[in-house]
Amino acid sequence: MQITSSKELLAVDGGTPVRSTLLPYGRQSIEEDDIQSVVDVLRSDWLTTGPKVGEFEEAFAARVGAKYAVSFSSGTAALHGAAFAAGLKPGDEAITTPMTFAATANCVLYQGATPIFADVSADTLNLDPEKLAARITARTRAIIAVDYAGHPADLDAILELGARHGLVVIEDACHSLGAEYKGRRVGSVAHMSVFSFHPVKHVATGEGGMVTTDRADFAESLRRFRNHGISSDARQRQAEGQWFYEMVLLGFNYRLTDIACALGLSQLKKLETNVARRREIAARYTRAFRSLSCVIIPSVRSNVNPAWHLYPVRMNPAQLNTDRAQVFRALRAENIGVNVHYIPVHLHPYYRDRFGYRGGEYPVAETAYEQLISLPMFHGMSDQDADNVIAAVTKLCEHYRKA
């Protein structure tokens, strides 16, 4: 790979981009067998509430090592289901991280409870157990840890806190399908683990989500909640020749279709290959960027094997004569489809207005946000795609490096 000269004109200033077409930060990979699996369902008797739902749930539970898996129409719906199963209600609090997508905290609000934030660890940007412990009150009912970028949270420490205070621990594992924590598969560690099947994730169903758990009571609550609060589903009633059903709780229509589950089953077979490819790309990035002083590469703790949903670097302000916003614009001009993950939840206008946040409350998360850029990371990337990213970042670092 050719390393560019510091004298080369940046594309944002009128120079030639590293790539001629945009490389997105994430993208699904759909193959002919995936398409055929969907076609087969379209020709079947069941488009929803049919046999593919149970097949997908059973295969997924087996893959992550959990007793139960309950599918949902999206990762957000799955988070809402987990918050419901945890028993959150008005007057309760649940502690989570500000360094996440808004849905992680919003699911607490959906239950009428209050999301409480605790700052993150400076290395992984995951929930800091010490800061978490300081936020626990008599009203705390649950902890929602996030596996930021695909690096598992400090689950043992968080579960220990949960056990000490009688709290339900929900793992937002939407980034970490295929990751391992101390030799255990993510999805088999927390009281409930939530996954997403959005197209940029490791397994895609279009939209979709899953909650895994070892507790039968949680699984039953989740199934009823995603089906209007009804105690049986249509396929079960048809098989039994029954029409009678009862609504036993206030639920939602959060069901995942057989169409999506068929795609999920096909994609799940490729999970290990997909995760392995993401790890290859992450290793390629890490080797290239380790020597660039303008880039702070993601940290990986010794007891985990991340799944690399994202590869978030932090631009080192001590080594650059510009800010993250300009680096972002310059990389996009080079046709590198970078993104930013995330604006801390408490800084969104809704949370500022409702809860009075003004900034400065969670300094580690806020400082990281000002520096973060997510580089393209998806299993369909070629080595040349990754080398284009490396070349563009190197080009910008040379250009904006402090004298």
Name the active-site residue from 131, 201, 269, 395.
201
184-185 β-sheet, strand order:
184-185, 180-181, 304-305
68-72 β-sheet, strand order:
68-72, 209-213, 192-196, 168-172, 140-146, 93-96, 114-117
Nearest CA to 155 out of 196, 178, 198, 184 is that of 184
d(CA 105, CA 165): 21
Contact 114, 93 (CB under 8 A): yes
Contact 299, 329 (CB under 8 A): no
311-315 β-sheet, strand order:
295-296, 311-315, 372-375
The number of residues making up the chain comes to 403
Residue 131 is a catalytic residue:
no
d(CA 125, CA 313): 12
Beta bridge partners of 5: none
List residues with catalytic annotation: 201
